[in-house]
Amino acid sequence: ARKLVEVRDLKMHFPIYGGILRRQIGAVKAVDGVSFDIFEGETLGIVGESGCGKSTCGRAVLRLYEATAGSITIDGTDIATLSQEALRKRRPAMQMVFQDPQASLNPRMTVAGIIGEPLDEHTNWNRAKKLERIYELMDAVGLNRDFANRYPHAFSGGQRQRIGIARALALNPKFIVCDEPIAALDVSIQAQVVNLLEELQEQFGLTYMFISHDLSMVRHIADRVAVMYLGVIVELAPVQDLYDHPQHPYTEALLSAVPEPDPSAEVRKDRIVLRGDVPSPSNPPKGCNFCTRCPKVMDICREIAPETLEVRPGHFAACHLHTHDQTAG
């Protein structure tokens, strides 16, 4: 497939100011040099614990945040260097579905108003044409057209997320960043929303970056998965290969905590409990970011950051275990 998104060495550092003079005294390195591609029509899952930088990464890719460094190419356009006006013109092609539909929908606007807002901003369509499109979008996400004049508070969490998805689809985007789109929803309706996103992907040829802390859900929806820890991607692989053959100690630990779908499975993983807390992204450890908690840490890990290597076909990992013989110390 064609490469739709190319991100190289993306950094998103938030300055920390302090002292009487409010000088910059440091930076929160929320995203600290990540690179990945997303191919047309695929879903790239981004997983990691809260605070690992995955949401910040999604926002920076869409330039909802101005990245500190790095390049972002979407559909052949260098997004990172576009002027605000040029960026506004590209905006229809790249959209975001937010975690909390409650917070991302204006409570004073009707459903039709919310879904139609991008049309107001980016088209000169008349009322009738806009309404036709709004109805079409409501059909696509499974919302009853009769609800067009109601306000968000009248809807359940799942329905509100459908409104958010309809709005994201309004301008026929190619690429959608879904930031924990089901995390705020009842477990009973999470699968419905994920299935809807998959149907829409099929129907409209969408490409997704799907950000989630839920490894079972990502396993279900993603084609490839990137695992983030403390601002960096530690492993990136086709979904099945990642779950069957994790190549990074952090991924192994994450996966060991996921309940086995088939309890009678031959390979039962033992739970790996990580000690200590995730270090602060304003003061990441020297060497490998995972060295303070890694059960397999070696001396070199505390000195030198590991390079990302292709350790199996299409399967990348950043860990010294792949280059250094453990027994050699």
Stretch that binds Mg ion, among 14-22, 38-46, 182-190, 275-283 (CB under 5 A): 38-46
3-state secondary structure of 214: coil
Q: With CB under 6 A, what is the number of residues at the site for ligand SF4?
A: 14
Pick one of ligand SF4, Mg ion, none as the site partner of residue 291 (Cβ within 5 to 8 A by kind).
ligand SF4
- Sole binder of ligand SF4 in the list 10, 228, 301, 311 (CB under 6 A): 301
Site map 224..263 versus ligand SF4, x via CB under 6 A:
------------------------xx--------------
99 binds Mg ion per the rule CB under 5 A = no
52 binds ligand SF4 per the rule CB under 6 A = no
43 binds Mg ion per the rule CB under 5 A = yes
Residues numbered 263-292 forming contacts with ligand SF4, rule: CB under 6 A: 288, 290-291
- Sole binder of ligand SF4 in the list 97, 185, 298, 311 (CB under 6 A): 298
Name the minimum Å distance from CB 116 to Mg ion.
Answer: 28
Q: How far apart are CA 33 and CA 53, in angstroms?
A: 11
DSSP assigned state of 52 = S
The amino acid occupying position 248 is: H
Long-range contacts of 11-17 (CB under 8 A, 24+ apart): 11/67, 11/68, 11/69, 11/70, 12/53, 12/56, 12/57, 12/60, 12/65, 12/67, 12/68, 13/68, 16/282
**Residue closer to Mg ion, measured from CB, 43 or 99:** 43
Enter the tokens of residue 92. 């229809």
Name the minimum Å distance from CB 41 to Mg ion.
Answer: 8
Q: How far apart are CA 274 and CA 66, in angstroms?
A: 33
DSSP assigned state of 41 = T
Count of residues for the chain? 329
Name the minimum Å distance from CB 28 to ligand SF4.
Answer: 21
Sheet order of strands, 207-212 included: 94-97, 175-179, 207-212, 43-47, 224-229, 232-238, 315-318, 308-312
Stretch that binds Mg ion, among 18-26, 40-48, 229-237, 309-317 (CB under 5 A): 40-48
Q: Which residues bind Mg ion (CB under 5 A)?
A: 43
Q: Which residues bind ligand SF4 (CB under 6 A)?
A: 248-249, 288, 290-291, 294, 296-298, 301, 306, 319-321
